[in-house]
Amino acid sequence: MSTSTYRAALARLKAALDEVQPGYSRCGLCGWPDNRHRRVDASTGALVAGDSVVAVGEDYGLTPVEAGVLAALSLAADPRLHGLTQARALEVAEEVYADVER
Ligand SMILES: [Zn+2]
């Protein structure tokens, strides 16, 4: 795995989020360029923990398909899967989210 595959995975997640939950800003808690990561982390975590896509969708205002797709894309964009450090992942994210104010 490489930086380029991570960049592509992150861009796909961003594109899906732009359709499902448009509008974002920099995360006030961790500084990641997209504050929607907190909701996706939570909904994906619930799915991984065993909640159904229907239940997660209801909890997060998503259809079951949206909940499943966002989880799949979120897991594919996990920096650890690509052997990247958090610092390197953030560098790539700054490129993908070049429109976000620093
Ligand atoms: Zn954050």
Q: DSSP letters of 5-56?
A: HHHHHHHHHHHHHHHHS------TTT--S-TTHHHHHHHHHHHHHT--HHHH
- pTM score: 0.92
Q: Which domain holds residue 34?
A: 3-96
The two three-digit tokens of residue 73, written as one number: 């894309």
- Quote the ligand 1 centre to 41 CA distance (angstroms): 10
pLDDT at 79: 95
- Quote the ligand 1 centre to 39 CA distance (angstroms): 10
pLDDT at 102: 63
pLDDT at 1: 53
Residue 102 domain-assigned? no
- Quote the ligand 1 centre to 33 CA distance (angstroms): 8
| Chain position carrying tokens 């079951």 | 64
Number of compact structural domains in the chain: 1
pLDDT at 100: 75
pLDDT beneath 50, residues of the chain:
none
Residue 44 domain-assigned? yes
Residue 101 domain-assigned? no
Phi, psi at 99, each rounded to 5°: -85, -10
- Quote the ligand 1 centre to 34 CA distance (angstroms): 7
- Quote the ligand 1 centre to 102 CA distance (angstroms): 14
